[in-house]
Amino acid sequence: MGYCYLLTKLAHTCYISRKYSESEKYFKVCAELLPLSTKNPVNIFASKMNLLLLFTHTDIQKAVNYSERLLMDVDDFLPVHKRQLFFQLANIYCLSKQYDKSKAYYR
C-alpha cells in the first residue's frame, strides 16, 4: 500500500510538471498493483479513477476506451462509486461531443 501511495504522489508530481507520459506510466502501475495488495473497493476505485482523470485531460479517446473497460467492472464497486463513474462518463462523452450518451449518464 505504501509503495502505491508513493507511486500516486510521483504521478501527481509528474502531472503537475506536465510530464504526462511518465504520469500515465505511474498511474497505470498503481492501478495494476493495488488490487494485488488490497481488496478494499474504495482504494481500487480511487486508483482507477486517477488514471481515468489523467486520460480525460490528456487524450479523450483513451478516456473513452478506459471508461468502457471500467463499465464492465462496475459491479465490483460500491454504489457511490457507480454514481461518480457515471458522472465522469457523462463529462467524457460531453467533451468528445457524444451528447446523447452524455445525456443518458447525467440522469
Share of the chain above pLDDT 90, in %: 49
Whole-prediction pTM value? 0.83
> Which of 56, 106, 57 is CA-nearest to residue 84?
106
Q: What is the pLDDT of residues 37-48, one digit of tens each?
A: 988 888 888 999
Report the pLDDT value the prediction gives residue 80, as an integer from 0 to 100.
Answer: 82
8-state DSSP, 75: G
pLDDT of residue 3: 87
Range of the domain at 44: 2-106
Q: How far is CA 44 from CA 1, 54, 71, 94, 104, in A?
A: 11, 16, 14, 26, 26
What would the mean pLDDT of 6-26 be, rounded to a whole number? 93
Q: How confident is the model at residue 77 (pLDDT cuts 50, 70, 90)?
A: confident
From its phi and psi, is residue 77 left (phi > 0), alpha (psi between -120 and 50) or beta?
beta
pLDDT (0 to 100) of residue 82: 86
* CATH code (residue 89): 1.25.40.10
